Chain A
Amino acid sequence: MTTSSPSKVHVTTTINGQEHELLVPPYMSLLDTLRELIGLTGTKEGCLDGNCGACTVSVNGRIVDSCLVLGPEVDGKTVDTVEGMATTDGLHPLQQAFLEEAALQCGICTPGFLVAAKGLLDNEPSPSEGRIRHWLAGNLCRCTGYDKIVRAVQKASS
């Protein structure tokens, strides 16, 4: 049993392939853990109640709203954020497609959409338009009307 105390929680977690050992305030969200403790500000805050998806990250391969996860909960888990999508070989096909299809305007929702779309394509390489729209319904975009986002995900799917 983990110790019950108001003091910080010792967390070991792999973020974008890199192991981090952290002392996390027990009430701190994963979102703030990433942004404030580690400095990964690519994951965005939009609403803090799980209704916009701007803070979407992947935990053990499942997409979650990081505002609704506590930092201590990812002890022993792997976390993947938008910062981990591109490699030294270049952008992820989704990132490339978002640029080519002009799928972002202001770009604040883009990291969440990219991580969410990756969560879909990793398991379903050729989703239908309807499936893409359903999967991405947890991510709000106010600029694009979604048209070009859906086209970009279609382009990146095989």
Chain B
Amino acid sequence: MVATFEPKTDYKVVGTRPIRHDGYDKVTGRAVYGADMKLPGLIWAVCVRSPHAHAKIKSIDTSAAEASTGVFAVITGSDMPKAQSKLVDLGEGNINFKWASNKLMADDKVLYKGHPVAAVAAADRYAAEEAARKVVVEYEVLPSVTNVVDALAEDAPILLDDLVGDDLGKDVNNTNMAAHERHEFGDVEGAMKTAAHTIEREYNMQMVHQGYIEPHNATATWDEENRVKVWTSTQGAFTARTQIAGILQIPISSVKVTPLEIGGGFGGKIPVYFEPLAALLSKKSGRPVKMVMERTAVFETTGPTPGARMIIKLGADANGKLVAATADIWFEAGANPGAFIDPAAQCVYAPYEIPNTRIDGWDVLVNKPKVAPYRAPGSPQVAFAMETAVDELCEQAGWDSMQFRIDNASKEGTRRGDGVLFSKIGMQEVLEAATASDHWNSPVGEAPAGKKRGRGIANGYWFNIGLKSSANLSLNSDGTVQLTEGSTDIGGSRTSMAMHVAEVLGIGAHDVRPTVGDTESIGYTDVTGGSRTTYATGYACWIAANNLVEELKKRVAILWDIDENDVDFNDGVFSSKSEQKKTISFKDLAGKLEDLGGPANSTGSVDLESAGDGFGMHIADVEIDLKTGKTDIVRYTTIHDVGTAIHPSYVEGQMQGGAVQGIGWALNEEYFMTDEGSMANSSFLDYRMPTSLDLPKIETVIVEVPNPLHPYGVRGVGETPICPPIPAIANAIKDAVGVRLYKTPMNAGSIVDALK
């Protein structure tokens, strides 16, 4: 039986904006991020990387590198333990250790440009780099494929010889197609035939990168007891441990992961890259080994979200009600399977109630880096297709696209594209807030000569996830509380956790001191991802706080010599139910514990099967130079149902940050691939993420439809905000200059081409 909660409004701490606990260390430079780790005798290591996207390794000669000044150890694919082929769930995506191992260090074949073929550890980074240049690798270059169409062609070069593809349950050999899945409900063909208006369009998107500013890093020791200790920037210490142990083929209890401060992840720091390599180099050298990835390698070998080819068909009746939809979705997985076609299917139709739907998804290998989760993985892609198709359908039929979205909005009981029925959701409330917003009710304004303005809207959706979290509390004698929790903090979550505890205990947010634990100081906790942290780890904190209250009730019972069941607790004060005058505050009680049984500790943990769905709408105003095609965002508003905003500043921050990542994806960001299969723009200079000068202020409208599955109604807000921007901007471009773009990025060149 899943617990449900009634919404509340009379919070003392929830909904306030305290200064984050880790803030002082982060504005003074004291905070220790992964790359800041220092250990006595520390040495540095770097990777030797393949210049080819697809090649057989004929030989590797490491002798010159080993003889190079200051070198302690060199490893190649032959040093990697042979991991078994086994699928493990990481919260946002799965991992197969055999492929994960091979992704970190090539075995007999390189599968993408930058694929590591060796790693060199030396006295310092400069010496390691110099030695790495002396590793001699002989390659036999193979033809490569960098898009789904080429990868599925009959004569396509095959990436993984041992891959058995799953085509609707049938095994397929000698293929780049890892999976083909289908979700079908109702009579799609029949309904489509009855539709008064239909539209069918193809959309294509390039891979994009999360673009976190902190490069991947790891520091590791392999000690005499065969225990591996790792300090790293990760989105999940426990999932990092699972991966490291799996790749190194040692028990998880032999691995301790200490998560240091993390400089951005957006999903991309769930997979490990350097951790097992640093550990193996430590084993070989007998020293602690540190690795920090160069930016080019961050782009070429980590992260990207799938490039996509999608065909969407929509049918609506004469009254403007959607009756049928089909979606064919091909996603690029990179060099190993796992292209997020499941979440794409879950998200594609989510904002709409459509009685008859079909989704076909294909997970396709290409000679590019293995994709990693990136903020609502799969959802921005299908949102681009779905939300622009909706606009185009409305245009054809002469319908107002906002009204159409309202008329077709999903609600409690609506069936999602993968069959799940929605519980209490806030799509309709979001649309109400959007139509009531200042932005929607203000004119788009006049553009200067030579430019035109337009407005676009789009919905977005992410289901949010639950999973496992743990939290521990210890009461100090001064009435403050130490909180240890397992979620690494990427964006202020420590403070949200502390606020959960403070709300229960009736104390201030700063009376709780939160710490992110390592894998040996806190119970299992899943990744900071899937928009789960405030929901699930916050829930665990709430349980721990309530358990602390229960423990303290026992102490009060001793103090007053009354029955434990006679003790009540409200707003930070314990009282006797039978004798109303008897009260003691939480703080006063904390000072008396020495005589009442000693230290008071508590713990809380959750394993949540589902979460509260997150819906949003964005409104984008663009201004386009008609001659150069340059698009500027002149006004931008984000509207999201977040359930309950625990710390509204950081909720707004998620909405603004997600929106801007989506804006970058819409306008300029892409993996620009050469014919040889390498990324031509693997630097921040040419990857072109938005700067402060490319943006207006990002307006936020927080909608709160409490999630009954969380004690305070939290849904999660990390991911939905990246879903609407691409279609909102595509629709705004259409509104401004009358052309529709079906490919990302929708850059200046493509707008000028379309205007011709």
Contacts and interface: CB of A to CB of B under 8 A. Distances in A.
**So, do A and B actually touch in the complex, CB under 8 Å?**
yes
Interface of A: 25, 27-28, 32, 35-36, 39-49, 51-52, 54, 81-83, 85-86, 91, 95, 98-102, 104-111, 114, 132-134, 136-151
Interface stretch (B211-219, B497-505, B536-544, B564-572): B211-219
B29 A142 contact: no
A140 B689 contact: yes
Interface string B688-723: 011111010110000000000000000000000000
A46 B295 contact: yes
Contact of A106 (B30, B212, B684): B212
A105 B691 contact: no
A136 B295 contact: no
B458 interface: no
Given A41-B36, A47-B683, A141-B213, 6 more contacts: A42-B29, A99-B19, A102-B17, A133-B693, A140-B213, A146-B660
A35 B74 CA distance: 25
Nearest to B696: A147
Contacts of A145: 653, 656-661, 695, 698
B303 to A, nearest CB: 12
Contact of A82 (B19, B28, B35, B689): B28
19 contacts: A39-B38, A40-B29, A41-B29, A47-B295, A48-B294, A49-B683, A49-B685, A51-B683, A52-B684, A54-B214, A95-B27, A107-B31, A108-B261, A109-B263, A136-B692, A144-B653, A144-B656, A146-B692, A146-B695
B261 A107 contact: yes
Contact of B266 (A46, A51, A142): A142
B398 to A, nearest CB: 35
Nearest to A152: B27
A137 B213 contact: no
B692 A105 contact: no
Contact of A51 (B19, B657, B660, B685): B685
B685 A27 contact: no
A83 B92 CA distance: 37
Given A44-B33, A143-B264, A98 B27 contact: yes
Interface residues of B, number: 59
Which 8 A-B pairs rank lowest in CB-CB distance, beginning with the nearest?
Answer: A42-B29, A108-B263, A145-B660, A102-B649, A105-B491, A145-B656, A107-B26, A51-B684
B702 to A, nearest CB: 14
A28 B264 contact: no
B42 to A, nearest CB: 10
Contact of A148 (B124, B126, B215, B649): B649
Contacts of A45: 35, 215, 292
Given A48-B295, A99-B24, A142-B266, A111 B29 contact: yes
Contacts of B650: 102, 105
Interface of B: 17, 19-20, 22-24, 26-33, 35-36, 38, 124-126, 210-215, 261-266, 292, 294-295, 490-492, 649-650, 652-653, 656-661, 683-685, 689-693, 695, 697-698
Contacts of B215: 45-46
Contacts of A144: 653, 656-657, 660
Contacts of B657: 105, 142-145
B26 A104 contact: yes
A42 B261 CA distance: 12
A100 B660 contact: no
Given A27-B126, A47-B683, A99 B27 contact: yes
Given A47-B683, A150-B692, A150-B697, A106 B264 contact: yes
B28 A86 contact: yes
A134 B261 CA distance: 29
Nearest to B721: A145
A102 B213 CA distance: 18
Nearest to A102: B649
Contacts of B292: 45
A97 to B, nearest CB: 9
With most chain A CB atoms within 10 A of its CB, the pick from B19, B28, B689, B695 is B28
Contacts of A28: 126
B653 A142 contact: no
A91 B23 CA distance: 11
A51 to B, nearest CB: 4
A140 B684 CA distance: 9
Nearest to B212: A142
Nearest to A25: B126
B691 A140 contact: yes
A101 B32 CA distance: 22
B653 A106 contact: no
B29 A43 contact: yes
Given A45-B35, A99-B19, A142 B685 contact: no
B698 A54 contact: no
Contacts of B19: 99-100
Contacts of A83: 28-30
A115 to B, nearest CB: 9
Contact of A142 (B23, B211, B698): B211
Contacts of A32: 125
A142 B36 contact: no
A108 B214 contact: yes
Contacts of A101: 649
A9 B35 CA distance: 25
A153 to B, nearest CB: 10
B684 A49 contact: yes
Given A28-B126, A147-B697, A148-B656, A105 B29 contact: no
B20 A99 contact: yes
B213 A46 contact: yes
Given A108-B263, A142-B266, A46 B695 contact: no
Nearest to B684: A51
Contacts of B23: 98-99, 104
Contacts of A140: 213, 684, 689, 691
B688 to A, nearest CB: 10
Contacts of B210: 142
